[in-house]
Amino acid sequence: MDKFTIHKGLVAPMDRDNVDTDAIIPKQFLKSIKRSGFGPNLFDEWRYLDPGEPGQDPASRKPNPDFVLNQPRYQGASVLIARSNFGCGSSREHAPWALQQYGFRALIAPSFADIFFNNCFKNGLLPIVLPESQVAKLFDEVAAFPGYQLTVDLERQVVVKPDGAELPFEVQAFRKYCLLNGFDDIGLTLRHADKIKAYEAERIATKPWLDKRLLG
C-alpha cells in the first residue's frame, strides 16, 4: 500500500447526499476475483449513458457529459469532496478500491458510513470528516475557481486551502500510523516476519510431525 504523508491535488465535487456503495461501484462489477481494474467503472451508472459489464472496454462506452468526473475541468482530480453519509449501503470493499484506482487519495465529507470509512483506511484512501459548514464552503470555492487544489497534510492533520488557511481534522492514531507507513493488514503482519520464521523453525524442530507433507 502506498504511503500517505502529504498530498496536493485537484478537487472534484460530488454534490449529493447519501451516495451509496452501489453507486460508487455497481453490483455487476463485484463478480471479478481480482483487486484491480475497478477505476474505469467508478460511478458507472452516472458516468456513462449505456449499461456497463465487467471486462468491457471503457473506450467503447458513451460518457455522460453532464457527470462531474467527465467534465474537462475535473480531469485528473485526486481529492473528492462529498456531502453527508458518503459510502452508505452494502459493505463492499470494492468501493474504496474503485475510488483509489481511479486516482483519488483523499475524500472530504461531513460524514461517512462506518464500514466504508474503515475500509478506506485499509486501502490507502484517507477519509476526512470536516464540519458541514466548512465542506459547504469548499463546494462554493471549487465551483468558483477552476483548477482548485487542496493540500492534505496527514502528519499535521490539516487540509490546506489555496489561500493558506488550514482546516484541522481528526484521525485515530493507529490509522494514521498505518497510512503514514503504507501498512495494510498484511503489511502490519510482515513487520514481524523474523519472529514468524523463528517460531516456524522452532515448531518444526520440536514437533516435526506437524510438518509432514502429503505425498501425491
Dump pLDDT digits (tens) for 52-70. Answer: 988 889 899 999 999 999 9
Fold exhibited by the domain 6-183 = Aconitase; domain 4 (3.20.19)
What is the pLDDT confidence band of residue 216, given thresholds at 50, 70 and 90? Answer: very low
Q: Can you tell me the distance from the alpha carbon of 149 to that of 127, in angstroms, rounded to the nearest whole number?
A: 17
Q: In whole angstroms, what is the distance from residue 178 CA to residue 171 CA?
A: 11
The residues, any chain, with a CB within 8 Å of residue 143's CB and separated by 6 or more, are 13
Better pLDDT: 199 or 149:
149
Cell of residue 62, nine digits: 458513451
Per residue in 72-81, pLDDT tens?
999 999 999 9
Instruction: Give the domain ranges of the chain.
Output: 6-183
The DSSP call for residue 147 is T
pTM recorded for the entire structure: 0.87
DSSP, collapsed to helix, strand or coil, labels residue 100 as: helix
> Could you tell me the CA-to-CA distances from 170 to 71, 86, 105, 128, 145 in Å, in that order?
32, 17, 17, 8, 27
**Better pLDDT: 209 or 164:** 164
The confidence band for 214, taking pLDDT boundaries of 50, 70 and 90, is very low
